[in-house]
């Protein structure tokens, strides 16, 4: 689906990958989807914004190339929350990178130990992948994100640091009167990181958040693994007074039935909560 440039509508958000940690292409997961983190935000402006480059990015690439025929390439701005595999593995299979001159910007934060550029380029290197980053025919630019808000052609971008092993960054895109916040991956319970995320998400039209675990799983198995529970995310959405909440980064061991149950429980705590499904679109 494509939109005319400078559309009067608000941003359109589409989920291309909703799974956390690893792809899960099994029948029991297909209703929600098995591709890892990737969310497109089309503001109708010149650039397309993409949060994370998990395996869902592959199919977005096919659509972009189909749309570009006879119309030229639409610049893509990929914003990486962090460099864990489930957030970058779609990039080597994103066909625009093999298209001469296709303009692609990848922005992210360097971790405490690794700079963005060598770390990101490393996935396209010997012996991990047969094509080297430097040989990609697209015009790929890697950019370190500044800590202060800055303007993209399609809106103003603000960030906040998240509580996650090796770090992660949350994004808020303000486009006209509409705002969308993307927060993957984050473990609740760190006072300053929780407060920064609440502030970032304050009064947002849409909060998309990691809510990988149930409270029981978190308590007995996954404390310290870097992800939130749906209960804590619903509380955070209430504190931040967001209008809509979409939970994503589904656990690989949560099949469709388990996610249905989480969704109905979450809706009792924060009205209108939805669990992300591959292909789901929200018009803000």
Interacting residues toward Zn ion by CB under 5 A = 20, 84, 86, 185
Alpha helices, H only, 138-284? 191-201, 215-217, 230-240, 256-269
d(Cα 23, Cα 26) in Å, to the nearest integer? Answer: 9
Nearer to Zn ion, 86 or 255 (CB): 86
Cβ pair 47, 74 in contact under 8 A: yes
CA dist 27 to 249, 257, 278, Å? Answer: 18, 12, 14
> In angstroms, what is the minimal distance from the CB of 104 to Zn ion?
21
> In angstroms, what is the minimal distance from the CB of 20 to Zn ion?
5
Nearer to Zn ion, 185 or 232 (CB): 185
> In angstroms, what is the minimal distance from the CB of 175 to Zn ion?
25
Give the alpha-carbon dihedral of 63, 69, 73, 79, to 10 degrees. Answer: 0
> In angstroms, what is the minimal distance from the CB of 150 to Zn ion?
24
Nearer to Zn ion, 6 or 113 (CB): 113
Closest residue to Zn ion, based on beta-carbon distance: 84
The crossing angle, in degrees rounded to 10, of helices 256-269 and 230-240 is 30
Nearer to Zn ion, 74 or 249 (CB): 249
Q: Token pair of 251, please? A: 């656990």
Nearer to Zn ion, 36 or 244 (CB): 36
Nearer to Zn ion, 64 or 275 (CB): 275
> In angstroms, what is the minimal distance from the CB of 84 to Zn ion?
4
Strand residue runs (E) in the chain: 12-17, 38-42, 48-51, 76-79, 103-108, 139-144, 150-152, 155-162, 168-175, 178-183, 206-210, 244-248, 274-275, 281-283
> In angstroms, what is the minimal distance from the CB of 85 to Zn ion?
8
């Amino acid at each position: 689906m494509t939109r005319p440039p400078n559309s009067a509508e608000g941003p359109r958000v589409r989920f291309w990958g909703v799974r956390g940690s690893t792809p899960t292409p099994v029948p029991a997961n297909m209703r929600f989807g098995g591709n890892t983190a990737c969310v497109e935000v089309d503001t109708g402006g010149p650039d397309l914004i993409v949060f994370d480059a998990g395996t869902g990015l592959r199919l977005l690439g096919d659509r972009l190339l189909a749309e570009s025929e006879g119309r030229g390439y639409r610049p893509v701005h990929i914003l990486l929350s962090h460099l864990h595999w489930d957030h970058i593995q779609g990039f080597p299979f994103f066909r625009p990178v093999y298209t001469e001159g296709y303009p692609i910007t990848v922005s992210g934060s360097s971790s405490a130990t690794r700079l963005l550029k060598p770390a990101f380029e490393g996935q396209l290197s010997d012996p991990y992948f047969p094509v080297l980053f430097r040989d990609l025919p697209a015009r790929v630019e890697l950019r370190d994100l500044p800590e202060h808000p800055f303007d993209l052609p399609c809106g103003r971008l603000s960030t906040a640091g998240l509580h996650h092993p090796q770090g992660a960054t949350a994004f808020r895109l303000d486009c006209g009167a509409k705002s969308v916040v993307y927060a993957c991956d984050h473990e609740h319970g760190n006072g300053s990181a929780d407060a920064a995320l609440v502030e970032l998400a304050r009064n947002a039209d849409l909060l998309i958040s990691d809510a990988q675990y149930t409270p029981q799983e978190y308590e007995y198995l996954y404390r310290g693994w870097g992800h939130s529970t749906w209960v804590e995310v619903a509380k955070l959405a209430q504190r931040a007074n967001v209008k809509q909440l979409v939970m994503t980064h589904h656990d690989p061991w949560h099949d469709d039935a388990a996610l249905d149950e989480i969704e109905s429980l979450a809706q009792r705590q924060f009205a209108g909560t939805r669990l992300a499904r591959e292909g789901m679109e929200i018009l803000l």
